[in-house]
């Protein structure tokens, strides 16, 4: 539990709370009510993103025997639940929650933050993360990588052959 608490504080808490708060403060943001449809959409996206985040963290803990943090990575390759459809559902959950924040807080600055976060991950994953995963999980990860897309989910689930 302590390992996950450290991971949550270090990673998603900073991306979803600290950096957006600083962004809003630095841009002089003042809250104005958005259109009710945007507020409802934001609330639904926030709930969906949070649910996906909890699900993926649970899978990393129970199946992978680790966390999303580089200092405590999973020991086993996780190919269950949303990981059968897309390789990076944790990032999808964070992007979904950032979009929800931008809608709920009626802030274009947070949309820009979302785009910067996404672009950073588009660069980071192929250059760093995927190389590390190939080294850690070998042929299983290479096969997973060939069959499961990085960002856009496949419609049918894919599983490692047994």
Which CATH number belongs to the domain containing residue 45 in this structure?
1.20.120.1630
pLDDT in tens, 62-107: 999 888 777 788 899 999 999 999 999 999 999 999 999 999 999 9
Give the model's pLDDT for residue 33: 78
Evaluate whether residue 155 is within a structural domain.
no
Judge contact between 88 and 120, C-beta under 8 A: no
Residues of the domain holding 60: 2-147
Q: pTM of the full predicted structure? A: 0.88
Segment 47-70 shows an average pLDDT of 89
Question: With 90 as the cut, is the pLDDT of residue 14 above it?
Answer: no
């Amino acid at each position: 539990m302590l390992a996950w608490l450290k991971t949550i504080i270090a990673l998603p808490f900073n991306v979803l709370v600290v950096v957006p708060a600083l962004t809003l403060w630095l841009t002089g943001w003042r809250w104005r009510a958005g259109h009710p449809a945007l507020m409802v959409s934001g609330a639904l996206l926030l709930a969906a993103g949070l649910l996906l985040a909890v699900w993926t963290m649970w899978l990393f803990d129970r199946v992978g025997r680790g966390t999303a943090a580089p200092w405590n990575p999973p020991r086993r390759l996780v190919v269950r639940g949303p990981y059968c459809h897309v390789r990076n559902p944790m990032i999808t959950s964070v992007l979904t929650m950032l979009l929800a924040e931008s809608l709920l807080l009626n802030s274009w600055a947070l949309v820009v933050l979302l785009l910067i976060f996404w672009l950073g991950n588009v660069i980071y994953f192929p250059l760093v993360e995927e190389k590390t995963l190939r080294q850690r999980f070998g042929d299983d990860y290479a096969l997973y990588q060939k069959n499961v897309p990085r960002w856009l989910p496949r419609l049918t689930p894919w599983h490692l052959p047994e």
